[in-house]
Structures are given as C-alpha cells and as structure tokens.
C-alpha cells in the first residue's frame, strides 16, 4: 500500500511540473553529478570498500523534515545493481565524513561517490533507504543532472521550486 501511495504522489508531482521530489526524510530540491573533486573533511577512503578509481560526485540537496536527523548511514545510491554508500553530509557544499546524525531543521546535502562509467545513465540512480523497514518501500528513482566539472549549486541559489528535471 505504501509503495502505491508513494508512486501516486510521485506521478502527481511530475504531472504538475514539480521540480522537487518527496522522500522519507523530506524533499529533494536538487540532484547533481559532477566530476569536480569535492573536498570532504575527515574522509578516509579505506573506510569505503566500493569507491571507484574514476569517481563522480553525486550530491543530493534536501529540505529535511523538521526535527529529523540524517546520517551517512541512512541512504545509499544504487546504480546498475551496485550500491554506493553516502560518504558525507554537508551544507553549503562543505562536506564532512561522519556517521553522526546531522540536524535536519535546515537544507542538508548528501554526498555519494559513484563510478565514471555511469555518467550516461544518471537518470537510473535509485536512492535506497537503509532505515527500517529496508524492504524497498522507501526507495525512489532520482533524476540527477550532469553538471560536468562545475561546482554543485549552493543551496541558497536553488529556487524554492527546486532544480530537478522530472520527466512529465
């Protein structure tokens, strides 16, 4: 039943021309992929066994549900059956690798590192919820935008109605 409701809501949002996408922890207002190296404080590449040699940086900018805390452990990005963990959270393109939950009362960013081979298939990225129930109920397709080697858009420069390119 929950899957049907999420599907109906997502479909209705696309028909209305929304440029945001609702998910379990809030609202995605931008989803961008860049080849520009992102600086991550406290990052230990040995802590992540699935990091690709030629990385792309996938950044989700979200308006979190007030009071909800978000951690790098909460979500992963699945591409062609390969799961990539969230490696950092941030705000204003300042990222830190920490499994401590961040306050969700403001715009947050989630950072994933995926392989360069997926550049042409960025519309097939699935945001997987690692929280209970982890049965796929809260997993959603997210349409990322390839911004080349540009720096991700600062949250303050994202319009109120978002930047997602949702197919209608």
Answer yes or no: are the C-beta atoms of 141 and 164 closer than 8 Å: no
* 58 falls within a domain: yes
Q: Is the pLDDT of residue 94 over 70?
A: yes
* 167 falls within a domain: no
H/E stretch holding 157: none
Q: Among 49-58, 98-107, 154-163, which range has the highest average pLDDT?
A: 154-163
d(CA 54, CA 56): 7
* 62 falls within a domain: yes
* Token pair belonging to 63: 């308006």
* 147 falls within a domain: yes
Contacts with 87 (C-beta within 8 Å, 6 or more apart), sequence order: 40, 43, 48, 51, 72, 97, 111, 112, 113
The count of structural domains within the chain is 1
Range of the domain at 110: 2-157
For residues 12 and 149, the model is more confident at 149
pLDDT digits (tens, 9 = 90+) for 59-91: 999 988 888 888 999 999 998 788 889 999 998
* 49 falls within a domain: yes
Answer yes or no: are the C-beta atoms of 158 and 30 closer than 8 Å: yes
Q: Is the pLDDT of residue 12 over 70?
A: no
User: Model pTM?
Assistant: 0.83
How many Cβ atoms are within 10 Å of 139's Cβ, its own excluded? 20
* 164 falls within a domain: no
Mean pLDDT, the chain, rounded, equals 82
* 168 falls within a domain: no
* 162 falls within a domain: no
């Amino acid at each position: 039943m929950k899957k049907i409701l999420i599907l109906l809501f997502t479909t209705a949002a696309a028909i209305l021309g929304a440029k945001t996408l609702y998910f379990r922890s809030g609202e995605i207002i931008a989803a961008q992929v860049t080849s520009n190296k992102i600086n991550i404080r406290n990052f230990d590449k040995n802590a992540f066994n699935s990091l690709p040699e030629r990385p792309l940086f996938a950044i989700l900018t979200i308006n979190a549900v007030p009071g909800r805390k978000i951690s790098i452990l909460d979500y992963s990005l699945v591409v062609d059956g390969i799961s990539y963990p969230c490696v950092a959270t941030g705000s204003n393109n300042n990222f830190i690798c920490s499994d401590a939950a961040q306050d969700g009362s403001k715009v947050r960013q989630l950072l994933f590192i995926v392989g360069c081979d997926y550049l042409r298939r960025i519309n097939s990225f699935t945001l997987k919820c690692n929280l209970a129930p982890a049965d796929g109920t809260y997993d959603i397709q997210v349409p990322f935008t390839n911004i080349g080697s540009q720096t991700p858009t600062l949250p303050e420069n994202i319009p109120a109605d978002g930047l997602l390119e949702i197919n209608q």
